[in-house]
Amino acid sequence: MRANRFGHLALALFASANAFGQCSMCRTALESNPEFGDAINAGILILLVPAVLLFSGVYAIAFRYHDSAEPDDSE
């Protein structure tokens, strides 16, 4: 099981190398105007924060109530 987790981690790290790629039109626009690149980066952060907060909240609720969802063996 440990080797399987390592394999998935390695696959995720090596497969994400192309995730930083951009389409040619976006790359040209960002290279021609540095201020536009700053605006794109700020927009990415603005869109990322609510998603991370939502995911973190759902994870915290699931983690908090994980023990209470287990069946009671008092019979």
CA distance 44 to 49: 9
Whole-model pTM?
A: 0.48
DSSP 3-state of 72: coil
Domain boundaries, the chain: 34-67
Q: pLDDT, tens digit, for every residue of 19-34?
A: 555 677 777 777 788 7
Q: pLDDT tens, 36-47?
A: 878 887 888 898
